[in-house]
Amino acid sequence: MYDFELVKPKTVDEAIDALQSDEALPLSGGQTLIPTMKQRLASPEKLVSLLGIAALKGVSISGGTVTIGAITNHDSVARETATSFPGLSGLAGHIGDPAVRNRGTIGGSLANNDPAACYPAAALGTGATIVTNSREIAADDFFDGLFTTILRESEIITAVRFPIPEVSNYQKFEQPASRFALTGVFVAKYPDGVRVAVTGASEDGVFRWAEAEAALSADFSAAAIAGLSHSSEGLIADLHGTPDYRAHLIKVMTGRAVAAAS
């Protein structure tokens, strides 16, 4: 590791002020940033830790919406949404291992937007709202490609608001070493239709499967997608799986999610 300044603000305003430096980066759970720094792939002169900002932590439920503070860790999300939003609870409870779940945060995961991360599928699959220090962003607009979002310089996520679905489920085919999603699918059923979001499969990051959404909105059952297939075009090819394999997994994981939710 190399020398850098660590700043520990107590309020969001203090954090934003500290981030005005060109060489400053926000630090949440550090599950991606710290290993990246150790490999010299990033070398910020200043880290602004968000972990001491009490206003960014916690889970609340009101009017059919779950609001989660950005620095809430995965384990807390899993425990505190177990009754109100079991689909999200199950997703959070199977991220990484216990060490990761007690350190990693929902805001950090969404801001990093790893193409195989789980939370982006939950956000996109529910039509969540990402709240920052300066605006509110619909999940459909937030993700902008691999490791990229529309967050501006010195803008931080403060909370995420999830509309609670009638039923939901997340199914992940794990890459066994990392426990990231080789392919993961989040399915959520609302009164006005079904949303299906896929992570881990596309070269462009998380995305919605429109054909499955239409079929499941008409008939919420695994049988409704039996005749569908997802194109392999634009899907990831690596040592863990071919595009055709991931295309197959998209359908399989969607069917499992619907069956489990039902």
CATH of 5-49 given 3.40.50.300, 3.30.43.10, 1.20.1050.10, 3.30.70.270: 3.30.43.10
CA–CA dist 41, 51 (Å, integer): 23
Please write the tens of the pLDDT for every residue from 150-175: 999 889 999 999 999 999 999 999 98
CA–CA dist 106, 72 (Å, integer): 6
pLDDT at 1: 60
Specify the CATH number of the domain 56-163: 3.30.465.10
Q: Is residue 232 helix, strand or coil?
A: coil
CA–CA dist 120, 151 (Å, integer): 14
CA distances from 51 to 6, 88, 107, 137, 166 (A): 12, 22, 11, 22, 33
Listed by start position, the domains of the chain span 5-49, 56-163, 167-261
pTM of the model: 0.94
- Mean pLDDT score across all residues of the chain: 95
CATH of 167-261 given 3.30.390.50, 3.60.15.10, 3.40.930.10, 3.30.465.10: 3.30.390.50
Please write the tens of the pLDDT for every residue from 3-55: 888 999 999 999 999 999 878 889 898 888 887 888 888 788 889 999 999 99
